[in-house]
Structure 1
Amino acid sequence: MKTKKYLITTKSSLLLIMALLFIVSCEEFLEEQPSTVIDSNYIYTTEEGLKSGVVSLYKFERDRYDRSTEDYMGAVLMSSRSDLAFSRTGYTGLMGRYQRGISPEDLGARFVSALFWKHYYNIASKATDIINAAEVVQDVDEDVRNEIIAEAKFFRAHSYFYLYRMFNNIYVTTESVTVDNAFDVINNKSSEEEIFALLNNDLDFAVAHLNWDVTFGRISKGTAKHVKAKVAMWQGNWEEAKSQAVSLINEGPHSLVSSTADVFKGNRDHSEQLFVIQSKDDALGGGDVTMINANYITQYFQIPGIEEDINQGGRGFSRVLPNRYLLGLIAEDANDTRDDNTYFRLKYFYTSGDKIGQEIDIYKPISDENPNGVQLARYYQRLHPSCIKFAQEDDDPKNYRNRSNILVYRLAETYLIAAEAIMRSSGDPLPYINAIRTRAGAAPLTSVDEQAILDERARELAFEGQRWFTLKRMGQNVIDRQITSYAGDGEFFPPNLGAKDPRTNWQPYFINFPIAQIDLDLLGPDYPQNDGY
């Protein structure tokens, strides 16, 4: 929220009008209208108009991934700022190492403002317009009306939930912008009670009125239950989190795919997916190319004798890489299949010349055998393990930008939510966490504690945008310990020690992102900046 409401939500409404011009008939929009009636009631006067408005929410949700800001930072920023990543270079590297995005005035905060703060407030505003219009429009079947409202309420809750987890000090509303309130100044943040009341009310409605089986790419009852469980975890309502997660697992049509090799295979349209953002010309709401995969893949193709290949990750530029801590967690069980060629690419092989088929080992990390490494900088740039969760079979291996579908929520996380919620309330968490480990071929656990949950979430969900939020949710002590102990690679990459070391740069108040000064200036004079900034 840029927060004279006018400056955010009026802009949002105008953007939505432009989007709808491409989605619904132009006939009504070609009629000359006074400017004062260009609001949600003008846009949403028919069932088809409301449905088109909902479709536009999917398009706007995808914008964060599609925007080209600093090599598509919006798609990878949250993964770069975790205890599992080595943020090598580029502006994303600066953000991931806590060198930027740490002051309301710096350029990184402005990027975060555009990619997250304004982005999610705009979606929340659009969703609110749809909800309020749908509640009063005439001649709409009640079941259809409730489905429209349910989808819009999911997006509003999803957006406010994202903002709350990043910034903490946020303002929520169920009121549409009108000519009467457009210039109202927001003087204070919403209370946690107000925020969670809105989140839970919206998600309860979504759970009640969405269907289990929906068109691929659309929000379902399962998606809403999954997010409802996540919201309950942030409230410490473990019984509710358990109830929603177990219900989704046992009652819905979803199931874990049979092997880790199948999770990120194809277009992700499988039994485990709960929400997939599609990047395809004829997909719901459109789509565009992104560089999310390129951010996570090394520049192995610069080594003579190896060409770009989707099986080895496609074309990348080594921005954000799995660090030694994460790789060590995956390597703990030799039978764990979440390693080479499923979730990660650990080894690379020559594809031409007299060494074809042989493993490439010309650069090496620091180890007992090589205490200084072998061309260490080249190793991190060209031969370091990569996350290949976002490579897709039909990608162009010679292009940094591709149309790849993005798994946002999936059932594996639901199992881990159930395990943690049961551990913190009542019952046996082992069947749920061990379902994930068994699928991966890893030995089952015999006990579960908070660290076991953290470790299993790392192995299963790394680089899917959830880790930083998990650390924050578990508390100040947890995020401080994990970041200062494991972020980056520390002494194993000496060039990143000192000012480039996220372990050194981390400050406890970074647990909340700063509200950019350009946004704070538009709030009331007493609106609080987050502590420490």
Structure 2
Amino acid sequence: MKIMFNKQLIRIGFLSITAGVFLVACTDLEIKETDSIISDGGGEGFNGVENVDASITNVYNALRGHLESQDNFFALQEVSTDEMLVPTRGTDWGDNGIWRTLHQHTWTPSHQYVLTVWNQMNQNAFLATEIIDSRSNPSTEQKAEAQFLRAYAMYQVMDLYGQVPFREPDEGPEIEPTVLSRAEAFDFILADLNDAIAGLPSSAPNNANTNTATKEAAQFLKARLLLNKFVYVGAAGPETADMDEVISLVDAITNSGYQLQEGYFDIFKEDQDTETIWWMASGVGNRIWNGMHYNQISPDNTGGGWNGFSTLAEFYDLFEGDPNSNNIGDGQEERRGWVPDETNADETNLGIGYGFLIGQQYNVDGEPLQDRAKNPLIFTKELPGLVGNNERTGIRTIKYHPVNGGFTGHQIIFRYADAYLMKAEAMVWKGEDASAMVNTLRDLRKAQPLASVDAQAILDERGRELWVEFVRRTDMIRLGQFGRDWEFKDPTAVNDKTKELYPIPSNAILSNTNLVQNPGY
């Protein structure tokens, strides 16, 4: 099979990515034949992919790499919110401001991650389209699997950028790709998911099956699509029929055997659990090391962490417990985790805490750690700003614990607790009482019950349950909080609804004149 990157894919509005090379934004926007791989395919004839199974595997492999990264997609979804920031520490993590502009909401169409994610997700969608084409002769199940993968990729483009370019496999470089509006893309994705649900096999929780598309994974994505529908089609609020369907889809997932599980941090081990609907064989090292200090070591990373990612004090304060410490006995709920001290730092946790790391940190022998300048390694709740930080400022987060290994190859993409809270939210939108549902989850996570549950309570509960699971930005937009002020956001970006979409990359607009830049850019 010849994959047509330049002269074909380039006109979709994304630059090709050759193996092992990540594109960076540049000021020279002239498209050259030397920019990417040239193929004689496209308008000169597409005869189907040579090996459907291998082609599906290639899409999974590409997506795995995209989702395990700490930058690009993860950064657009998490660092742009109140949940995560990457403060510059001296000269560390400066990176020409690429992290700071995401948190401040001052990104531009030339932002490297905005371009790279556009490239990646559009490429995944096109490769899936090649598989779906009748000339590839996929089986019913293979076609359904490719439709799920295309729906996932196109969903992310729709959610992040609002416009979705689409090209058929045999359309040559002389044809500019169609650009679907957000509402048109919604209908396209919904049709793909309906076909995927009909054609994919069902699976109860099972690590052997749930690392690829299943009926339940497609039901989950459809529920998320419908929950956000009013945002995507420009309506004032959700329709009751859509919320009813969200509830029915979650009930179907429940009926397949998925359920909430006790032991919050055990869910993020490689072991079998009842919550994981879809996982990928992605390493989780980025989720572990990007916040750990250089002197916090684990067996597969004896060089320590990378001392970057932190969370805001206001996000930490969403959780129950002592506001200034997170040691055992501080009255915290399970999801906030705990930090070992000299009495409970041992080989069972490597001296490294779970969840939110604040205060003095210890090694495996219970000895207080120091930073590289020999100061006590005390992670502080407050930061002086996005610049001017030392090695110790900021609360760090760990969800996939290093005691389980950074190369376990088991990153959760869809989880039942997310579906469960989608159902609770759908009930709230319908004016129904979801407090019993939410309190069932809170009781399981050792948190006090809520007297009532409204939209703000749902957003807060989703934040506590689903932190760093790729959903915070989308949740905040749907529930009207993405434009609010938070620490270190640029004042000019507060209440700026244009930031609810990322810009179309400058290179993409140059290569496809059907694209129109989003408002505000």
**Matched position secondary structure for 2:148:** helix
Q: Does 1:390 align with 2:395?
A: no
Partners of 1:9 and 1:125 within 8 A in 2: no
Kept in 2: contact 1:313–1:345 (CA 8 A)? no
Q: Residue 363 of structure 2 aligns to which amino acid in structure 1?
A: T
Deviations 1:387-432 (A, max 9, x none): 1113443436xxxxx5653211111101110000011126442233
The one-letter amino acid of 1:444's match is P
Query: Partner letter of residue 41 of structure 1?
Result: N
Choose from 313, 317, 332 the match for 1:324.
313
Distance 2:305 2:400 in 1: 11
Match of 1:56 among 55, 58, 68: 58
Which one has the bigger helix percentage? 1
Distance in 2 between residues matched to 1:85 and 1:11, nearest whole Å: 27
User: Are 2:264 and 1:254 equivalent residues in the alignment?
Assistant: no
State the alpha-carbon separation in 2 of the partners of residues 38 and 63 from structure 1.
31
Match of 1:436 in 2: 441
In the TM superposition, what is the alpha-carbon distance from 1:300 to its structure 2 partner? 5.8
Give aligned pairs, total. 447
CA distance in 2, matches of 1:35, 1:192: 29
1:106-156 per-position Cα deviation (integer Å, ceiling 9, x unaligned): 3x2x43212x1111111111111111137x73xx7xxxx221111100111
1:452 partner letter: A
In the alignment, is residue 176 of structure 1 matched against residue 188 of structure 2? no
Aligned to 1:284: none
1:14 is displaced (CA, Å) by: 11
Q: In the alignment, which of 70, 75, 98 is matched to residue 104 of structure 2?
A: 98
Q: Structure 1 residues 254 and 183, CA, compared in 2 at 3 Å: closer, same or farther?
A: same
* 1:231 Cα deviation from its structure 2 partner: 0.4
Instruction: Tell me if structure 2 keeps the 8 A contact 1:54–1:130.
Output: yes
- Determine if the alignment matches structure 1 residue 204 to structure 2 residue 202: no
Tell me the equivalent position of 2:215: 221
* 1:338 aligns to 2:328 (yes or no): no
Matched to 2:63, the amino acid is E
- Distance in 1 (CA, whole Å) between partners of 2:5 and 2:274 is 39
| SS state at 1:409 partner | strand
Larger relative contact order (C-alpha < 8 A, sep ≥ 6)? 1
Query: Offset of 1:454 from its aligned partner?
Result: 0.8
CA offset at residue 244 of structure 1? 1.0
| Distance in 1 separating the partners of 2:221 and 2:479 | 17
**How far off is 1:480 after superposition?**
1.4
Q: Distance in 2 between matches of 1:356 and 1:324?
A: 23
Partner residue of 2:276 out of 255, 273, 276: 273
Q: Where do 1:501-516 residues align within 5 Å? A: 501-502=489-490, 505-506=493-494, 507-516=496-505
* Partners of 2:360 and 2:369 within 8 A in 1: no
- Does the aligned pair in 2 maintain the 1:233–1:241 contact within 8 Å? yes
Residue 64 of structure 1 and its aligned partner are, at CA, apart by: 1.4
Amino acid paired to 2:286 = M
CA distance 1:321–1:404, shift in 2 (3 Å): farther
Give 1:246 shift. Answer: 2.4
Deviations 1:34-67 (A, max 9, x none): 96799652424xxxx2122212211111131466
- Hey, what does 1:294 align to over in structure 2? 289
Distance 1:515 1:191, change over 3 A: closer
- Cα deviation digits, residues 305-327 of structure 1 (max 9, x gap): xx514799993223221211111
Give SS of 1:521's match: helix
Instruction: Return closer, same or farther for 1:331/1:14 CA change in 2, 3 Å cut-off.
Output: closer
When residues 427 and 247 of structure 1 are mapped into structure 2, their CA distance, relative to the original with a 3 A threshold, is farther
Contact 1:2/1:523 (CA < 8 Å) preserved in 2? no
User: Would the alpha carbon gap of residues 403 and 72 (structure 1) be closer, same or farther in structure 2, given more than 3 Å must change?
Assistant: farther
- In structure 1, the residue matched to 2:78 is 79
The one-character-per-residue Cα deviations of 1:238-266 (angstroms, maximum 9, x if unpaired) are 122122122212x112122222131212x
Counterpart of 1:532 in structure 2 is: 520
- 1: CA distance between counterparts of 2:245 and 2:415? 19
Deviation at 1:72, TM superposition (A): 4.2
Relative to the length of structure 1, the TM-score reads 0.74
Q: 1:211 to 1:11 in 2, by over 3 A?
A: same
Alignment of 1:358-397 (within 5 A): 363=378, 365=380, 377-378=389-390, 381-382=391-392, 384-395=394-405
Aligned with 1:153 (options 142, 147, 156): 147
Per the alignment, residue 25 of structure 2 pairs with none
TM-score (ref. length: structure 2): 0.75
Q: Is the 8 A contact 1:217 1:277 kept in 2?
A: yes
Contact 1:78 1:468 in 2 (8 A): yes
Match of residue 344 from structure 2:
none
Which of 444, 450, 456 aligns to 2:455? It is 450
Change (3 A) 1:77 1:395: farther
2:80/2:105 contact within 8 Å kept? no
Contact 1:4 1:523 in 2 (8 A): no
1:479 and 1:87 map into 2 onto residues whose CA distance is: 18
Q: Partners of 1:473 and 1:118 in 2: how far apart?
A: 25
* Aligned position for 1:22: none
The answer to whether structure 1 residue 414 and structure 2 residue 419 are counterparts is yes
Gapped regions of structure 2 (runs ≥ 5): 20-38, 230-237, 323-330, 339-352
Query: Over aligned residues, Cα RMSD in angstroms?
Result: 3.8
Q: Take 2:302 and 2:188, find their aligned partners in 1: how far apart are those partners?
A: 41
Any conservation in 1 of the 2:157–2:164 contact (CA below 8 Å)? Answer: yes
Task: Note closer, same or farther for the CA distance 1:344–1:203 as it changes in structure 2 (3 Å cut).
Answer: same
- The amino acid that maps onto 1:62 is R
Distance in 1, matches of 2:49 and 2:300, equals 47
Task: Return the offset for 1:198.
Answer: 1.1
| Deviation string, structure 1 residues 275-306 (Cα, Å, up to 9, x no partner) | 21213xxxxxxxx78634322x23161xxxxx
Partner of 1:239: 244
Flag structure 1 segments of 5+ consecutive residues without an equivalent: 17-32, 280-287, 302-306, 397-401, 491-500
CA distance in 1, matches of 2:172, 2:124: 19
1:167 equivalent to 2:164? Answer: no
